[in-house]
Copies of this chain bind each other. A is one copy, B any other.
Amino acid sequence: MHDAPTAPPFFEVVVGQRACRAFDDDRDVADETLAILLEAATHAPSAENRQPWVFVVIRDAETRARVGELTAQAWEDGARELSRRRLAEELFTEVDEGATGGISAAPVLVVVGADTDRCLDATVASSTFPAVQNLLLAAHALGLGSALTTLPTVHADELGAAIGLPETVVPVAVVPLGYPARPLGPPRREHFAGHTHRERFGQPW
């Protein structure tokens, strides 16, 4: 790291990272901070080490509003009804507020894409989501809030048009970044043992 910042211990960062969907309007994110996050992101693995990741860092209010519109549109076109049936009320309300305004109100949006001149269609996801995760963890390590959102990529053509992506670059995620509007609680996760099998599926850990 060119400029090693103070950060909590590794495992504290990993188990504390969680989604933030409401940001402090009065606190911007410095370029120097974004540089550290992007350096972390680009240290993720990728198929054949081809590093197909593309990051477009948006601060412009109009562009952020456009991404917000696309997010709200995808949400209202169907995702909201799917989620309403699937989610507990508290989480639904939080996600609903994020999708209809909270996320695009973050001072910075990072659109993460994959350059398909550098990877196969089959390796787009495995060569970009690990980089997104490094970005989220690094953000948390520096006290920033963030979230992994894919809703705006439902309208990939419109999203690409809003930020001038060439046809060879596929958007895979949008990460809002900013300081949290309020303290975030710990992530809610099921114990790993319920998801883990020994030797064969169905044999308990």
Contacts and interface: CB of A to CB of B under 8 A. Distances in A.
A137 to B, nearest CB: 7
A163 interface: yes
Q: Chain A interface: which size bin?
A: 35 or more
Q: How many copies does the complex hold?
A: 2
Contact of A148 (B54, B130, B191, B202): B130
Nearest to A147: B45
B35 A192 contact: yes
A130 B136 contact: yes
Output the residue of A40, A45, A188, A198 with the most chain B CB within 10 A.
A45
Interface string A128-165: 01101110111001000001101000000000000111
A195 B135 CA distance: 14
Contacts of A122: 150
A197 interface: yes
Contact of A10 (B50, B95, B141): B141
Contacts of A196: 38, 55-57
A77 interface: no
Contacts of A42: 189-192, 195
A14 B134 contact: yes
A152 to B, nearest CB: 12
